[in-house]
Structure 1
Amino acid sequence: MANIKMKYLPFENITFQTKLDPEEILSRINKVIEPKKTFRMTGIFGSSNHKPYEGSIIGNSFNITRIIGYRNSFLPIIKGSIKKDFGETEVNVKMRLHPFVLVFMFIWCGGVGFGFLALLTSSIGKGTFEPTILIPLAMLLFGYGLTTGGFKYESIKSRKYLAELFEAEIKI
């Protein structure tokens, strides 16, 4: 039930279940990440000689982000924790938007939503339909679609990559 609710939001909680030891998982993560850089040139003019993720490992936890050759403000920040559970290992992963992007989109959608409600209330008060109501509604839907689409596009790639890396199944 929790996965269904999260399906349409730019957040994901995933539990990978694998037979690998926590040390092996940490070793595999370490092989595919590099330290976070403030400025990175990728794409046409930059270097393509990099690992797929950047971030860090602290104890049995990791904090990583995919390295991409294009701009996507909705790129998930991936935080994971590893624990041994009855002979198997569970890797709990949370994918979230960057806090700045989340706050910006909340304020933007809140303002547009308020504008929509104001126009809707005005239109109902007059007893007529005004097509200007559709402008903030379209902006609200566009903002939601852009945020969720940009996030899910990247989270699906990371989910598949991590499942292969951990030789894991996703626990429902």
Structure 2
Amino acid sequence: MKLLPYDTMTIHVPLPVESVQELLRQHVAPVRWFRRGTKRVAFKGQVSESGFKISRSIEYRNSCLPFLDGTFEPEAEGTTIHVRLTLHPLVVAFLCCWFGSLVLFAIGNISPLFKDGEPMILFAVGGFAVFSALLTLIGFWAEVPKSRRLLSEIFAPPK
């Protein structure tokens, strides 16, 4: 497990870009905020001419689900797909606020700490930080292999 929730992958498909886009669109549904879709697909998000922004379609909650941001690169013998797996930008924004507030809380409590000699508050803040980081990393890295496998299966040649 890496310490940052970031990974990349490259897939070569022996099809033209238009065929790759259409194949991916068959497995991606638009994001629905208020109701579930009836069509069961592997991913939700959007596919455009230049790339895609998708995440795995799951039946449970996981804010640390990998967000796949990909681009299509046409080549003479097909298409190369470059994919970045990261946290969703809103999750990154929340984590920045969360860890920032922990740091500010710790800084605000350092000077009284030296007067009283009670370091327990810093241990609590450190514990919150470690727990939050582990929860994020475990949630992300547990889902990365599933997302990679599903995306690879979409573009695998038929058997």
TM-score by length of 2: 0.80
More displaced stretch, 101-110 vs 87-96 = 87-96
1:40 is the counterpart of 2:35 = yes
**Partners of 1:135 and 1:39 in 2: how far apart?**
37
1:142 is the counterpart of 2:137 = no
Decide which of 67, 70, 77 is 1:80's aligned counterpart.
Answer: 70
Identity among equivalent pairs (%):
27
Match of 2:59 in 1: 69
User: What is the letter of the counterpart of residue 95 of structure 1?
Assistant: L
Match of 2:97 in 1: 107
Decide which of 47, 58, 64 is 1:57's aligned counterpart.
Answer: 47
1:16 is the counterpart of 2:11 = yes
Is there any run of 5+ residues in structure 1 with no aligned partner, and where? none
**Partners of 2:75 and 2:138 in 1: how far apart?**
34
**Partners of 1:39 and 1:104 in 2: how far apart?**
22
Decide which of 153, 161, 164 is 2:153's aligned counterpart.
Answer: 164
The list of structure 1 runs, each at least 4 consecutive aligned residues, that deviate by more than 4 angstroms after superposition, is: 117-123, 126-129
For residue 9 of structure 1, give the secondary structure of its aligned residue in structure 2.
Answer: coil
**Partners of 1:116 and 1:86 in 2: how far apart?**
56
User: What is the letter of the counterpart of residue 3 of structure 2?
Assistant: Y
- The answer (yes or no) to whether the contact 2:65–2:143 under 8 Å persists in 1 is yes
Question: In the TM superposition, what is the alpha-carbon distance from 1:64 to its structure 2 partner?
Answer: 1.6
TM-score by length of 1: 0.75
After superposition, the CA RMSD in angstroms is 2.7
